[in-house]
Chain A
Amino acid sequence: MAASLGAFEQLVLFAVLRLHARAFGVAIRESIEERTGRAVSIGSIYTTLGRLEDRDIVVSRVEKPQGRMGRMGRPRKYYELTPHGARVLRDAYASIQSMAGGVLPELERLADS
């Protein structure tokens, strides 16, 4: 059985995917907030990423910042999806798509009624 992912975990993973190799807490937070309008805290992002890292879904690396990006000169922790993580996210998204397939018009109709 495929490992399951919560809704917030999926949001975080899509943000990590979107940010490529430059995904760290603040950037992930902004990405989620811009696209979903949902307020999230740095703490919840790191807690979620820590849990996902334990499940081998993401991998992290710590880098010293350079140039303007590293304005405070403090190390940052960047995250990337692992191949296993990519499969888990793909399966989770496919499950949603599969469940949503064919019923979206009905959903629209109900929502607009």
Chain B
Amino acid sequence: MTRPTPDAIRGLPRLISILARALIRGRDAKFIATELDESFFRDIERGVPRPRAIRRFFWNVSSSIGSTWVGGVQVAAASGIGLDARLAVRVLAKHPTVTAVAVVTLGVGIPGSLALIHGVAAIYGDLPVPQAERLVGIRHFDRASNRPQRSSLQDLAEWRELTSLRNVGAARTRTLSLGGEGVEPRAVRGAEVTASVFEALRTPALLGREIGADDELPGAPPVIVVGEEVWRTHFAGDPDVIGRWVRIQGEPRVVVGVMPSGFGFPSDNSAWIPFRGEELAGRSEAGPRAFVFGRLADGIDIDIANAEVEAVTSRRAADNPARFEHFTGQLVAMTTLLSDARNDRIWRGDVLMVQLMIFGLLLVVCGNVGVLVLARTATRAREVAIRTALGASRPRILLQLFVEALILVVGATAVGLLGAEALARRIMRTQEAHGWLPYWADLTLTTRIVVLALMVAVVCSFLVGVVPALSSTGRGIRANLQRMATGAGALRMGWGSSALIVAEIALSIGFLAVGVAQCWSALSNAGADLGFDPARYVVGELALPDRDLDLRGEPGGRSTELSSVHQDLVDEISRDPAVVGVAIADDLPGLSNRNRGVVLEDAGVDPRKVEWDVATPRVGVAFFSALRRPILAGRDFQASDVAHGDGAFRRAVIVNESFVTDILGGRSAIGRRLRYERPREAEEGQWYEIVGVVGAFGTNPLNVARDAAVYHPIRNGEVNPVQFIAEVRGDPETVLHRLQTRAASSSPNATLAVGVLAGRMRAIATAQRAAYLFVVGVAMAAFLLSATGLYALLSFAVSRRTREIGIRRALGASAVAIGLLVTRRSVIQASVGLAAGVAIGWLLLDSQRTLRETEIQSVPLVLGITVLVALCVSVAACARPTLRGLRIEPRDALTE
């Protein structure tokens, strides 16, 4: 086969060189393009192998294009970047309104667009321990359910055999009831851990020692290590704390160490006790779930370790296919293991999707600011054209406009970052009190996020400055000068920007309506009478670990065991002299309640669905009598109401006063029947019968106007975890710790969380207020964004039609006519946006009518208020540019 001669393949390099000529810039472009293909042919003549010559040719082409552009920018920059910067500052100062709007919009938009990335990075970052990147979590992943699994101590025993990991250990959180002589009693968020936790995390104790391997041995003295915060608050910072005895769940333990502040492994914990030796030795699959983790052995990378974990899982799947068939072994970052459990797994795909949406919003922000800049550039079309005529190249003009945009955007980003840092510090202070972030998450700004923000700022500068500038400088000097000669602007506004503004207004009004409705509902609910005083109640949750209920082989054993635990709990708390009454339930008054749709049987008409859902708490038979809630009609629950076994249908229910007034319209409830819209298996085809009516008892603290509830009776032992509520005399805070100790002593192995009801309700109300403020904030931000768009559009219109306005004024046009001329397009856009927004708002509000939490009292009124707010903002946005248009003097406009 004959190899093609250089002449035979000459055409292609020459063609590529000709094409490349279009991309090569600078005065020597034609020489460079000519010599690109010549270099190739000379390579062939010199005997360079053809594949290498081809590679060299393409590298030469791309590198030449790049170097001529870089060289051009360098020359342009060297010849006047300082001048550009000074000019940019003067231009920004000359248009203070545009500058202020852009700074606020971009200052919020750019840091805001990175908030999610920053938050996720903080949550999934490294633990604050030495060589944190070598720490890994070990878990199974169920391919069938597509979810990670919590691990058992049997898993721990298997994984301790892994050779690629060291310090393999486990931890699980437990509420520890701390008490004892000279110790302020309190529930602390504790953890049961293996000794290897401290070896793996390489964090030494502040005082004393960490938990050691000997502490895990059966029969070893019971020990506890406490955190610095617990040491300071409960032991008053006693320097001789080591060796002191305390009581945990009523059992004595000796304090052997104090861990430094900032150590909260695994999940904001402040006290640690060792796993019981018999548990670790038991290898029970039914035991407690725990986080299992380890440290990569020296010289082992995660892929090798992962392969070993997968091999172990495969072996176990072969031995026990029923359990492990769909499982795969997985090594994940330590914080991923802990955060997934905490957040019920944050899906990276979801985060990515939300982040893309946020970046989309940022694009809208940039679009609006870009329109503003375009409007300002339009007023400078003459300057641009004259500079071009005097010899300024297009890159030179673009560079100048880019520098202007860069100063604006980077300045706005810097302001925004300062604000973000202040906000982050405030959040971190709040976080210390509430602990809604993992203990290792630090939201204060990092170098990485600052660099990222600046990179985004540079990209935004292109969008804000260069893209509009391309359209304002790309039509050629002659065309621009000709347009100016006839009085027209050099720029045109497309339909795309109009559609953007209309969509922004419509969506923001829709969400604003929801925000207004929620705020209205929250305000009308503030201080409303819940029918009881939450400050007189102590509430708690008691959860028994599965292992203590593991009574296989005994029919009903689980329920019997739980029943006695619940009875012990009630009896123990009742013994306290401050307690007036105590009862159990699965949902508590004043806290969130499960909602269900109800179908009511009404005499003479078909069963009808009640418009909104009702609360359906399950309460102990003695709930109302113990808590002294009066039965207003009918009767209280009786033991016979719960005579059937677990899961059986029980007919009797009690409704509250709201149910009678709001749903039944004040008619008698006794004997009336109801069922649920979506019945459960045991309820299928069954009707409940109302046997009594009870007074208001705060079943919907978020909205007292929708307080209707249907109470169902339960026996002791039917639910786990169970909630308890105790009415107390005097200050509940003083009784709290005593009740906690009593509750803990009734079941030492239970997980316990006790608090004053009023405090819990305040936390829920705070969260609700934060959610409402967030909705309103986002809606207002979106609306201000659309107002920015309107402002930009009008500015653009006025700047483009200055000469026309002048001529019309000279010909005697009235101010009204000029105003209409200027605002026509914006008014149309605002009107279309408002109409679409009202429709969206109506749909959103209507879909919320059945919600219990938010009361939509009047959709037209809410929408009316929203539209009024929107109109005020729109008028404010339009006022300045319109007034500018009206102030144009014919003489000035015609001499421009």
Contact = CB atoms under 8 A, between A and B. Distances in A.
Given A26-B38, A50-B26, A76 B31 contact: yes
From B27, B36, B56, B64, name the one whose CB has the most chain A CB atoms within 10 angstroms. B64
B59 interface: yes
A51 to B, nearest CB: 7
B595 to A, nearest CB: 70
Interface string A19-59: 00000111001100000000101111011111100000000
Contact of B59 (A30, A41, A46): A41
A75 B38 CA distance: 13
Contact of B26 (A30, A47, A72, A77): A47
B28 A77 contact: yes
A61 interface: no
A1 to B, nearest CB: 18
A78 to B, nearest CB: 10
Nearest to A76: B31
A43 B59 contact: no
Contacts of B70: 47
Nearest to B17: A42
A109 interface: no
A72 B26 CA distance: 22
A30 B32 CA distance: 15
Contacts of A25: 31-32, 35, 39
A48 B72 CA distance: 11
Contacts of B59: 39, 41
A91 B564 CA distance: 98
A76 B71 CA distance: 21
A44 B67 contact: yes
A43 B67 contact: yes
User: What DSSP secondary structure best describes chain A's contact surface?
Assistant: helix
Interface string B16-42: 000000001011100110111011001
A75 B35 CA distance: 10
A27 to B, nearest CB: 9
A75 B26 CA distance: 17
A63 to B, nearest CB: 11
B159 to A, nearest CB: 48
Given A26-B42, A30-B42, A50-B71, A42 B32 contact: yes
Interface residues of A, number: 21
B65 interface: yes
B336 interface: no
Contacts, number: 66
A51 B75 contact: yes
B60 interface: yes
A47 B34 CA distance: 15
A46 B68 contact: yes
- Chain B residues touching A, range: 20 to 34
A74 interface: yes
Interface in B38-74: 38-39, 42, 56, 59-60, 63-68, 70-71
A86 to B, nearest CB: 22
A46 B32 contact: yes
A46 B56 CA distance: 17
B55 to A, nearest CB: 10
B27 A50 contact: yes
Interface string B869-885: 00000000000000000
A83 B807 CA distance: 63
From A42, A43, A49, name the one whose CB has the most chain B CB atoms within 10 angstroms. A43
Contact of A47 (B36, B60, B68): B68
A41 B33 CA distance: 11
A42 B71 contact: no
Contacts of B36: 42
A8 B27 CA distance: 20
B75 A42 contact: no
Contacts of B28: 46-47, 49-50, 77
Contacts of A76: 31, 34
A42 B56 contact: no
B841 to A, nearest CB: 58
A43 B65 contact: yes
Nearest to B64: A43
17 contacts: A26-B35, A29-B39, A41-B63, A41-B64, A42-B64, A43-B32, A43-B64, A46-B31, A46-B64, A47-B26, A47-B68, A48-B71, A50-B71, A75-B31, A76-B31, A76-B34, A77-B31
The 9 closest A-B pairs by CB, nearest first: A43-B64, A41-B63, A47-B71, A44-B67, A46-B28, A43-B67, A25-B35, A41-B64, A77-B31
Given A46-B26, A47-B28, A77-B28, 17 more contacts: A25-B39, A26-B35, A26-B42, A29-B39, A39-B59, A42-B32, A42-B64, A43-B24, A43-B65, A47-B26, A47-B71, A48-B71, A50-B28, A51-B71, A51-B75, A72-B38, A76-B34
Interface of B: 24, 26-28, 31-32, 34-36, 38-39, 42, 56, 59-60, 63-68, 70-71, 75
